[in-house]
Every structure is written in structure tokens, then in C-alpha cells.
């Protein structure tokens, strides 16, 4: 019984995006959801507003979405890899 394997041709790599979320007065904002758009991959900011989002994706440009109750949802484009 032959087995066929397919590859997209792009090697996925591991990345960790780290940051700190603060309000207009530079106060930390805990509980902000940080998600890679179009996926279920995400994390939440901690009490000091910091977050670490671990990703396994092919190099490229992606959109990170930041959302929290009481705040306007923000999006940020990031380029990973070469």
C-alpha cells in the first residue's frame, strides 16, 4: 500500500512575539486577547500588560489582533522570517 505525502514547500518555523499592552496613560492593560488573525492561536496579557504569543508558521506577513472589553480592537501587521 503506497503512501503519498504532500508538502506546501514552505518550512514552518517557531516564533515568539512578546510585548506589553498599555493604555493612553501608559498603565498596563491586563486581560487583552492577542490572536493571530484567522486562527485560534492566541494568548492573554498578564497583570502587568505583558504577553508572549508563540507561533509555528511559515515566514511571511501576518496580522495580530488585540481585543478587550471597553477598548477599541487594534490590529498590527508583523513580518516574520526573511
Digits of tens for pLDDT over the chain (82 positions)? Answer: 455 544 455 688 999 999 999 999 999 999 999 999 999 999 999 999 999 999 999 999 999 999 999 999 999 999 998 7
Which 3-state string (H, E, C) describes 29-55? CCCCEEEECCCCCEEECCCCCEEEEEE
Q: How many residues does the chain have?
A: 82
Q: What does pTM read for this prediction?
A: 0.83
Amino acid at each position: 500500500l503506497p503512501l503519498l505525502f504532500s508538502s506546501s514547500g514552505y518550512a514552518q518555523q517557531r516564533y515568539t512575539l512578546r510585548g506589553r499592552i498599555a493604555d493612553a496613560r501608559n498603565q498596563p492593560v491586563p486581560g487583552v486577547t492577542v490572536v493571530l488573525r484567522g486562527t485560534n492561536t492566541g494568548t492573554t496579557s498578564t497583570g502587568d500588560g505583558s504577553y508572549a504569543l508563540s507561533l509555528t508558521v511559515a515566514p511571511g506577513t501576518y496580522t495580530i489582533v488585540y481585543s478587550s472589553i471597553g477598548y477599541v480592537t487594534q490590529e498590527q501587521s508583523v513580518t516574520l522570517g526573511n
